[in-house]
Amino acid sequence: MSPIKLITFDLDDTLWAVKPSLIRAEEQQNAWLREHRPQALDSITPDQLAQLKKSVWQALPDHAHNMSKLRQQFLYELQTAAGYSHQDATTGAEIAFGRFLEERHRVSLYDGTVTVLELLSRRFRLGAITNGNADVYKTEAAPYFSFAVRAEEVGAAKPAAQPFLKALELGDCRAEETLHIGDHWEHDVLGARQAGLHTLWLNPLDQVWPHPSDAPLTIQSLSDIELAIRAIK
């Protein structure tokens, strides 16, 4: 009999494809900037924009786990570089980020995901653990989750132990009673494994396990979860 009582899920590229929502989110962010802070984008090339974002990320290593903070700082510096005042840039960063985040949550769950979550939630507690700034409670998956852990709220990102330990606390379960499922071999599989959790690697492209440690249990679709759980002793 499986010992699993709690299942935690990564979100981006596990429950939904993140790239389409990020593209739309940046389009909404930039549409606001073009209307209200036109100089911010008129005076910069795409390559310069990418370099500015990279430099902000590199300048704030202590905030590497906080994607919201990094994006707002990038938006602030984008505006001040174009000559906008501190006040205008601060306000603009907040509003533009709000436009970004609103669209960020318009995700399309992978086919069959709602059915899988509904069935699993009858037998297990479900939680979310994400390094991103998506809020699962603003998505179609919301009804099935008992809690969510975001890296920016616990001060560390997967594969660090803190997000997993917080999930165990919120889920009121021991590590050996918990299964974490995600698409990232390092953040999700190694991170959860090092925290003592059972793991399932969502690997739809059938990639080769890239780490010298033993390969984890692997699934190609979320619909395979129930069968995989039976193999966990």
Residue 190's domain is classified under what CATH number?
A: 3.40.50.1000
- What integer is the mean pLDDT of 117-131? 98
Nearest to 163 by CA among 143, 182, 148: 148
CATH code assigned at 68: 1.20.120.1600
Phi and psi torsions of 97, nearest 5°: -65, -40
pLDDT of residue 1: 67
Distance of alpha carbon 124 from alpha carbon 118, whole angstroms: 10
Between residues 43 and 116, the one the model is more confident about: 116
Phi and psi torsions of 133, nearest 5°: -110, 20
What would the pLDDT profile of 157-189 be if each residue is shown by its tens digit? 999 999 999 999 999 999 999 999 999 999 999
Within a domain: 190: yes
One domain for residues 119 and 221: yes
One domain for residues 32 and 10: no
End-of-domain residue from the set 104, 131, 148: 104
* % of the chain with per-residue pLDDT over 70: 100
Any idea how long the chain is? 233
Place of tokens 């390559």: 47
Within a domain: 1: no
One domain for residues 190 and 157: yes
* pLDDT exceeds cutoff 90 at 43: no
Distance of alpha carbon 105 from alpha carbon 108, whole angstroms: 9
Q: Could you give the number of structural domains in the chain?
A: 2
One domain for residues 56 and 68: yes
- Hey, is 83 helix, strand or coil? coil
One domain for residues 76 and 23: yes
One domain for residues 152 and 95: no
- What integer is the mean pLDDT of 72-95? 97
- Per the structure block, which two tokens stand in for 76? 């602030």
Grade residue 233 by pLDDT with cuts at 50, 70 and 90.
confident
One domain for residues 139 and 216: yes
Query: 72-82 b/e with 16+ CB inside 10 Å = b?
Result: bbbbbbbbbeb
What would the pLDDT profile of 195-206 be if each residue is shown by its tens digit? 999 999 999 999
Helices (H), 105-214: 113-121, 151-154, 161-171, 191-194
* pLDDT exceeds cutoff 90 at 84: yes
Domain assignment of residue 211, given as a range: 6-17+108-229
Pairing relationship of beta strands 198-202 and 6-9 according to DSSP bridges? unpaired
End-of-domain residue from the set 55, 73, 104: 104
One domain for residues 117 and 93: no
Residue 150 Cα distances to 24, 114, 219, angstroms: 22, 21, 24
Phi and psi torsions of 149, nearest 5°: -120, 125
- Averaged pLDDT score across all residues of the chain: 96
Sheet of strand 198-202, all strands in order from the earlier edge strand to the far edge: 147-150, 125-130, 6-9, 178-182, 198-202, 217-219
One domain for residues 117 and 195: yes
Phi and psi torsions of 33, nearest 5°: -60, -45
pLDDT of residue 85: 98
One domain for residues 76 and 175: no
Phi and psi torsions of 186, nearest 5°: -90, -55
End-of-domain residue from the set 36, 71, 104: 104
One domain for residues 89 and 167: no
One domain for residues 127 and 217: yes
Distance of alpha carbon 24 from alpha carbon 28, whole angstroms: 6
